[in-house]
Amino acid sequence: MAVAAVEEKRTSWSELFFDLVFVFAVTEVSSLLEHDHSWAGVLRALVVFVPIYWVWVGVTVQGDVRDLSAPLLRITVFAIALGGMFMALAVPDAYGSRAMVLALTYWASRLLLGIVMLGPARRRLNPVTVSMAITGPLLVIGAVAHGDVRLAIWGLAAVIDLAAPSILRSRLAAMHFEAAHLAERFGLFVLIAIGESVVAIGGTAQEHGPITFGIGGTVAVAFVVSCGLWWVYFHFAADAVRHALATAAVQTNITRLVLSYGHLSFIAAIIAASVGLREAVADPGRVLSGGSLGLLFGGSALYLATFGYTRWMMFRLVSTTRLTAAGVVLVAMVPAGHVPAVAALGILSAVLIGLNTVELLHNSRLGWRSLLARR
């Protein structure tokens, strides 16, 4: 007797609509970073991005374990999306007059998530209730403070939010996730971030007016960099994440370490690289400043190195090619800092093309599964 195949859960239209808000949020964080390339600027952008990302993660995880077609849950998703919209609107002046907007909308979003979507679990200690009782109020307290004090309080709140799933992992161990759906959801956020790089390239080129040969060539090389970043994740890694989640003895280990933490690094790295791409396209004939070079090459190196972390967490395997490529990108910063921006883009694109070519040749038959076959 034939057994009917179980249909995999797919991303719903309401989830895709929810994601649109975070397209805007990523753009705003990118703009904040563009205005300050210093280490302090990077830290400020990251501290603001963490609560935005955590709102998305919370809804995404609950959307995986619940049926969002129920009208109440769908309306709740839209209400949280509205909170995300206000958080994004607050980003440009988050360390100024809009601090309280960011803090209150984050807290309200987490309260909605906990009260409506969490169900009976809201009475137990978990990452959502931690944000309801601790990190939401901390953001409000930080919004009242000023300068470095605000940054310190918000930074503490970000650390608490990120640490909560690890500290409380024993309480979450029994959770079950739809592997295909949850892996797809996090892959879509990576795609949103890569989309920001495309917007950065095209939007900056538009500001130049006529598309000259020089601008057109720079756009083409910058677009190759974006394609290279896409290929590294979606040609092999996306399926590997899905497999790891589907076969893990404790799924929350993969959800916590690879999806929540690893993808925060992926997305932050792409945002940084996108700002560098914008700067390169803005003036392809000049040498990139140290900050712009650091964002472009440092962000790309962090992106590649994060695959080393995620592969180890998933399979206890070393990602030799990608860790090597990350090192090459960092070394390439030296010559890239002495040539026009378009040439620096050419250097970075060459490294990405080389990495993807090597992996394609080595893994063409089995794809990412060849890594497991060589264990």
Provide the pLDDT confidence category of residue 121 given band limits of 50, 70 and 90: low
**What is the pLDDT, as a whole number, of residue 192?**
97
In this predicted structure, the answer to whether residue 176 has a pLDDT above a threshold of 80 is yes
Name every residue whose Cβ is closer than 8 Å to that of residue 141 and which is 6 or more positions away in sequence: 153
In this predicted structure, the answer to whether residue 241 has a pLDDT above a threshold of 90 is yes
Question: Which position has the token pair 């939401």?
Answer: 136
Region 6-10 average pLDDT: 75
Provide the pLDDT confidence category of residue 171 given band limits of 50, 70 and 90: confident
pLDDT in tens, 155-170: 999 999 999 999 999 8
Measured CA to CA, the distance from residue 216 to residue 220 in angstroms comes to 6
Which residue has better confidence, 109 or 3? 109
**What is the pLDDT, as a whole number, of residue 6?**
54
What are the C-alpha distances in Å from 364 to residues 360, 368, 373? 5, 9, 13
What DSSP character marks residue 123?
G
In this predicted structure, the answer to whether residue 280 has a pLDDT above a threshold of 90 is yes
Greatest Cα pair distance in the chain: 70
What are the C-alpha distances in Å from 307 to residues 136, 326, 342, 351? 31, 10, 27, 16
Q: pTM for the complete prediction? A: 0.93
**What is the pLDDT, as a whole number, of residue 122?**
67
Region 248-276 average pLDDT: 96
pLDDT in tens, 127-141: 999 999 999 999 999
**Length of the chain as a residue count:** 375
Provide the pLDDT confidence category of residue 118 given band limits of 50, 70 and 90: confident
In this predicted structure, the answer to whether residue 357 has a pLDDT above a threshold of 60 is yes
Measured N-to-C along each axis, helices 13-35 and 263-282 cross at an angle, to the nearest 10 degrees, of 50
In this predicted structure, the answer to whether residue 2 has a pLDDT above a threshold of 50 is no
pLDDT in tens, 69-94: 899 999 999 999 999 999 999 999 99
Mean predicted lDDT score pLDDT of the chain: 92
**What is the pLDDT, as a whole number, of residue 263?**
98
**What is the pLDDT, as a whole number, of residue 76?**
95
Phi, psi of 38 (to 5 degrees): -70, 170
In this predicted structure, the answer to whether residue 324 has a pLDDT above a threshold of 60 is yes
Helices (H), the chain: 13-35, 39-65, 71-90, 99-112, 127-130, 136-144, 147-167, 169-172, 179-206, 213-231, 238-247, 251-254, 263-282, 290-293, 299-315, 320-336, 341-363, 369-373
Per-position b or e across 262-294, b if 16+ CB within 10 A of its CB: bbbbbbbbbbbbbbbbbbbbbbbeebbeebbbb
Region 338-364 average pLDDT: 94
**What is the pLDDT, as a whole number, of residue 230?**
98
Least confident of 41-55, 155-169, 351-365: 351-365
Helix (H, G, I), strand (E, B) or coil at 340: strand
Task: Output the CA angle 144-145-147, nearest 5 degrees.
Answer: 135
Measured CA to CA, the distance from residue 87 to residue 102 in angstroms comes to 5
Region 321-334 average pLDDT: 97
Q: Domain extents for the chain?
A: 13-172, 179-373
Of 348, 260, 273, the residue nearest 303 (C-alpha) = 273
Of 284, 118, 135, 267, the residue nearest 188 (C-alpha) = 267
Region 20-40 average pLDDT: 95
Measured CA to CA, the distance from residue 169 to residue 63 in angstroms comes to 20
Measured CA to CA, the distance from residue 324 to residue 44 in angstroms comes to 30
Of 197, 192, 202, 200, the residue nearest 84 (C-alpha) = 192
Rg (alpha carbons) of the chain, rounded to whole number: 21
